[in-house]
Amino acid sequence: MDHPVLVPWMRDELGIFKFEQALILKALHMQPLLARRKEFQRRGERRQAALLRNPGFPLALQWCRRDWALGGEDLLFWTENYARLLREEPPRGDRERASSRRRRRPRRRTRGPRPARDESSAAAHAVSAKDE
C-alpha cells in the first residue's frame, strides 16, 4: 500500500501498523469474492481451501456480517465452511508454518577422521579437571 495520504493517516492518526494495514486491504479485496459464492463452489478443493486460509478472510466475513453485505444463505455457507476448515486444521502461527516448510540443510561433515584420543592425554585432561 503506497497511498501518499492514506498510509500516513492510518499510521499517525489511527495508530495502525503496516501489517494491520495489509490485513485490512486483503479483507477489503476479499469482500466482493464472498458475494460470488456460486463461482467459488465451481473451483477445486485446493483453491477453495486457499481462499478460506487467506489471513483477510475472517475479517472480511466479519465485515460482511456487520454491514449485511451477504444474504443469510451466503453468510451461513461461508461461516460453515470456515468452521469446518478450522476443525480440520487449527490455525498455526507464522513461525510454525515457516519452520514446517523450511528444508534443513544436512550437517557439514568434518574434513577427515577425528584424531584418536590417546590414554595419556585423556588422563592429563581428567587430572586438570579435578584441580579446578
Spell out the SS3 assignment of 7-72: HHHHHHHCCCCHHHHHHHHHHHHHHHHHHCHHHHHHCCHHHHHHHHHCCCHHHHHHHHHHCCCCCH
Cell representation of residue 16: 495502525
Residue 36 in domain = yes
56 touches 30 (CB < 8 A): yes
Asked whether the whole model's pTM tops 0.75, one would answer no
pLDDT by 10s per residue, the chain, length 132: 678 888 899 899 999 999 999 999 899 999 999 999 999 989 888 998 999 999 999 999 999 999 889 998 999 999 999 999 998 887 666 555 555 666 777 777 777 776 666 666 555 555 555 555
Residue 29 lies in a domain: yes
Residue 132 lies in a domain: no
What is the domain extent for residue 9? Answer: 1-93
**What's the domain count of the chain?**
1
